[in-house]
Copies of this chain bind each other. A is one copy, B any other.
Amino acid sequence: MKVLIVFAHPDERSLNGSLLKVTVKQLEDDGHEVKVSDLYRMKWKAVIDEDDFLNHNKGERLQVAAASGGAFFNNKLTEDVVQEHEKLQWADTVIFQFPMWWFQMPAILKGWVDRVYSLGLAYGVGEHNETKWGDRFGDGVFKGKRGMLMVTIGGSVSNYSERGICGPIDDVLFPINHGILYYPGFTVLPSFKIFKSSTMTPEVYDDWVAKLKEHLHNVENMEPIPYRRQNGGEYSIPSLELKPEFGKSGAQGFSLHIHN
């Protein structure tokens, strides 16, 4: 495999930093190629603004989506974004590794998505007609590539269980897995989740490392999350509502959009 890891933690001596080293070594030992976008080390610019679009006249009204497409199609994106596009093209597997802060990704990683996911590349792609509504949610430029989250979480697994106060962890991660990975075409693998990250003992750490290595061994052949394809006939076009005949009785919310 060719694996791109997009890594978002400020310190390589952290739990996340250690896990990154384990991951890179394991993947390389297994014969895979690895590139890392270490966003803090790269001093990644997190905030999308007019400076991102080299053909935008400074001071003119900035319509972000239009400007993004205008720069993408005219090769007027900034060099840092272009390099990320090249890495994404190169990779067949993309891993986002981050600590969950406030039930979401850190700002620096959100800013990677905001800036790298250009109009014309990650969205606004494909025909809109009676049988399909753009290339998205299962189609899109990254179709054929695998995407996966590696997340450290401060809370305990029970906090994120079916009845846990934070909500089921896979629901908390749904807007990222389904909305950021599946939307532009990635095949989404089950996330690797580490709980109670802030109170880690050496023994517990060793257990997590063993589990992580096992997970990484399986990435190449792992069954993905079986999201329903937007253009696969199960959704009404253009409302994009799941047709009444699909979905298990009693299913509701995000779970409706997963085959089961």
Contact = CB atoms under 8 A, between A and B. Distances in A.
A138 to B, nearest CB: 10
Contacts of A239: 156, 158-159, 161, 164
Interface in A167-211: 167-168, 171-172, 174-176, 178-180, 183, 198
Interface string A113-125: 1100100000000
Contacts of A114: 101-102, 106-107
Q: How many copies does the complex hold?
A: 2
Contacts of A255: 252-253
A206 B155 CA distance: 44
A47 interface: yes
By size class, the interface of chain A is 35 or more
A129 interface: no
A163 interface: yes
A254 interface: yes
Contacts of A176: 103-104
Contacts of A183: 102
A253 B63 CA distance: 36
Interface of A: 10-11, 13-14, 40, 44, 46-50, 61-65, 99, 101-108, 110-111, 113-114, 117, 137, 154-156, 158-159, 161-168, 171-172, 174-176, 178-180, 183, 198, 228, 230, 235, 238-242, 247, 250, 252-257
25 contacts: A10-B48, A13-B61, A14-B62, A14-B63, A44-B47, A46-B46, A46-B111, A65-B198, A102-B113, A102-B114, A102-B180, A104-B105, A104-B176, A104-B179, A106-B110, A107-B108, A162-B252, A163-B242, A164-B242, A166-B179, A167-B253, A167-B254, A168-B253, A171-B254, A253-B255
